[in-house]
Amino acid sequence: MEKSPLVKLTNVGKNYPKLTALSSIDMQLGQGEVLGLFGHNGAGKTTMMKLILGVIAPSHGNVEVMGVAPNSKEAWHMRAKIGYLPENVSFYEQLTGLEVLTYFAKLKGYTRQKAQKHAIALLEQVGVAHAMKRQVKTYSKGMRQRLGLAQAFIGHPALLLLDEPTVGLDPIATADFYKTVDDLKNQGTSVILCSHVLPGVEQHIDRAMILSSGKMLAMGTLEELREAADLPVAIKVKGLNGSLREDSQLVRYLLDDNNGDLLTVPEQDKLVTLRQLLAYESIKDVSVNSANLEQVYQYYLSRHLSSYSTNQKNTKEYS
């Protein structure tokens, strides 16, 4: 039996007096699913998180989290099952890391002793246990970010909303973080991950949603988005020494501005082209790169921007 989605947005919009922060968003998130939310600053990512958290109410449409509207009274008990890492948060500077986490754990319903025990375990998990007796004001940016993550993990949440979780983390900490996300996912936690740092995210998310100025530009698995965008595959070869320029079939894929070892091939011609390339005796190496998340993102964004500017031009001409 199909489980009912953990988060369900139906035609959700949010208007502020002077701007439309979100318009007609439809989205569903299942249990154990990781959704990447991508967009520039001001695209509506944070607004969407706030709507799911129930901090603000939608102007129209329906938000359901675990079957209830998150800003209603009935949603009270499920708040303890949601973890949130805000984008810009500086925790109580004069408290120690352990005190901060213990406080937040208490607010999630832990008793004093259990709160402290849980806090220590979380600090160990994110790797700040060595500094837990130090005041937060002495923490580096990365340590603060880890503390924020530990805060989001309080109470083994069923739903995690992470706003720019890897900002300020060094590469090793970032890898640790994604490993934690993978673990949580395997335990059945659903995650919404908001980011504009694209490299490295793709293998950890199930689906991606691209937002721009409050509108949803695209949503789906990376493969689906790639397919819909129809972006070419980049094939790099070594050892052919320009002989491709004489190949009547492959020369059209060659980029003009290189020495003849980089081809951009439409997805559907990939295998045919590879076979042709492998027929060359002198070929030493070949690497195939499908369009990455960044390119997909750029594609949707530029398409949106160009349609936006044409629209503007049209309205200008008519007015």
The contact set with other proteins (CB under 8 A) reads 50, 53-56, 76-77, 79-80, 82, 84, 86-92, 94, 103-104, 106-109, 151
Rounded Cα–Cα distance for residues 273 and 33 (Å): 35
> Which of these, 50, 128, 34, lies nearest to 84 by C-alpha position?
50
From the CB of 25, what's the least distance to other proteins, in Å? 19
By beta-carbon proximity to other proteins, the closer residue of 102 and 174 is 102
Rounded Cα–Cα distance for residues 9 and 201 (Å): 23
By beta-carbon proximity to other proteins, the closer residue of 184 and 254 is 184
By beta-carbon proximity to other proteins, the closer residue of 40 and 77 is 77
By beta-carbon proximity to other proteins, the closer residue of 85 and 209 is 85
From the CB of 112, what's the least distance to other proteins, in Å? 9
From the CB of 178, what's the least distance to other proteins, in Å? 23
Structure tokens that stand for 254 in this block: 């060659």
From the CB of 115, what's the least distance to other proteins, in Å? 9
From the CB of 40, what's the least distance to other proteins, in Å? 20
3-state helix, strand, coil in the chain (%, to 5): 40, 25, 35
Residue 83's alpha-carbon distances to 12, 86, 104, 265, in angstroms, are 22, 10, 11, 43
Q: Are 36 and 209 in contact (CB under 8 A)?
A: yes
From the CB of 77, what's the least distance to other proteins, in Å? 7
By beta-carbon proximity to other proteins, the closer residue of 95 and 286 is 95
Q: Give the contacts of 119 (CB within 8 A, at least 6 positions apart).
A: 98, 101, 102, 105, 132, 150, 154
By beta-carbon proximity to other proteins, the closer residue of 166 and 273 is 166
Question: 83 — phi, psi (to 5°)?
Answer: -110, 140
By beta-carbon proximity to other proteins, the closer residue of 107 and 305 is 107
> Which of these, 270, 247, 245, 273, lies nearest to 258 by C-alpha position?
245
**Helix ranges restricted to H, the chain:** 45-53, 97-107, 112-126, 141-152, 171-186, 222-229, 270-278, 293-318
> Beta strand pairing status for 34-38 and 207-212?
parallel
By beta-carbon proximity to other proteins, the closer residue of 113 and 287 is 113
From the CB of 108, what's the least distance to other proteins, in Å? 6
Q: Are 49 and 126 in contact (CB under 8 A)?
A: no
From the CB of 53, what's the least distance to other proteins, in Å? 5
Residue 131's alpha-carbon distances to 9, 41, 124, 137, in angstroms, are 40, 32, 10, 11
